[in-house]
Amino acid sequence: MSKRILTTPIKDAELESLHIGDIIYLNGYLITGRDDVHQRLIKQNKELPVDLAGLAVFHAGPIMQKIEGTEDKYRVISIGPTTSMRMEKYEKDFIPRTGVKIIVGKGGMGADTAQACKEHKAIHTVFPGGCAVLAAKCVEEVERVEWLDLGMPEAMWVMRVKEFGPLIVSIDTLGNNLFENNKKQFNLRKDLMVEDICQYVDYLG
């Protein structure tokens, strides 16, 4: 089976054909942006120095190394995903305000993000944890950095990537949420198992 590769800028129609659980890879631009970037835009109302429309944002705090002999060129040493739920309180406003199409992070996100993805044709995807060095190898070039005053992990790193992934679609453009669906299935199975076990265990005996 061939890889499903999306190239920025991403069009709505490309995302509408995706469903939760699908695996994709990304070519083009991937920009880091986590807690402080979201806070500056949403709480402090400061415009982003990078236009995210049609692009992908990565909830990540990378380790970068300045390339010797240059003033402002960097290479990625490691870039693992940050827990996306930390951005949940901002994402419903972040998505429409920036026009971002793909959010990449670790773990799931909640109902507000799912609703924003549905309304604005965006998706949330999960990059596997523990693969930070693999992720770094998918970065062809770090083109520039913005808001470095926030510190290396919180700055906006503008990267060109090739076949960045695998990315598992956890929220699709219909608002379906893979993690929430899995929780419901787990709780259903758990309740059935507990009911079965209680037939043979007497806690009061």
Question: Do the domain assignments include residue 77?
Answer: yes
Distances in whole angstroms, Cα of residue 152 to Cα of each of 38, 49, 62, 171: 15, 16, 7, 28
Which is the catalytic residue, given 38, 59, 120, 124?
A: 38
Q: Name the domain count of the chain.
A: 1
DSSP three-state, residue 62: coil
Spell out the per-residue pLDDT of the chain, length 205, in tens: 578 999 999 999 999 999 999 999 999 999 999 999 999 999 999 999 999 999 999 999 999 999 999 988 999 999 999 999 999 999 999 999 999 999 999 999 999 999 999 999 999 999 998 889 999 999 999 999 999 999 999 999 999 999 999 999 999 999 999 988 877 776 666 666 777 776 766 654 4
pLDDT at 11: 96
Question: Do the domain assignments include residue 135?
Answer: yes
Supply the CATH number for residue 160's domain. 3.20.130.10
Question: Do the domain assignments include residue 205?
Answer: no
Distance CA 139, CA 27 (A): 10
pLDDT at 203: 57
Question: Do the domain assignments include residue 152?
Answer: yes
Residue 22 tokens, joined? 């699908």
Domain span at residue 155 reads 5-176
pLDDT at 3: 86
Question: Do the domain assignments include residue 194?
Answer: no
Taking Cα atoms as reference points, which of 119, 122, 112, 115 lies closest to residue 169? 122
pLDDT at 83: 96
Question: Do the domain assignments include residue 29?
Answer: yes
pLDDT at 187: 62
Question: Do the domain assignments include residue 166?
Answer: yes
Contacts of 34 (CB under 8 A, 6+ apart): 59, 60, 61, 82, 86, 87, 153, 154
59 counts as catalytic: no
Residue 104 tokens, joined? 């990449």
pLDDT at 180: 86
Are 104 and 32 spatial neighbours (Cβ–Cβ below 8 Å)?
no
Contacts of 105 (CB under 8 A, 6+ apart): 58, 59, 60, 81, 82, 83, 84, 87, 124, 125, 126, 127
Sequence length of the chain is: 205
Question: Do the domain assignments include residue 203?
Answer: no
pLDDT at 160: 98
pLDDT at 4: 96
Beta strands at 56-58 and 102-105: parallel, antiparallel or unpaired: parallel
Are 64 and 157 spatial neighbours (Cβ–Cβ below 8 Å)?
yes
pLDDT at 171: 98
Are 164 and 13 spatial neighbours (Cβ–Cβ below 8 Å)?
no
Are 22 and 102 spatial neighbours (Cβ–Cβ below 8 Å)?
no
Radius of gyration (Cα) for the chain, nearest Å? 19
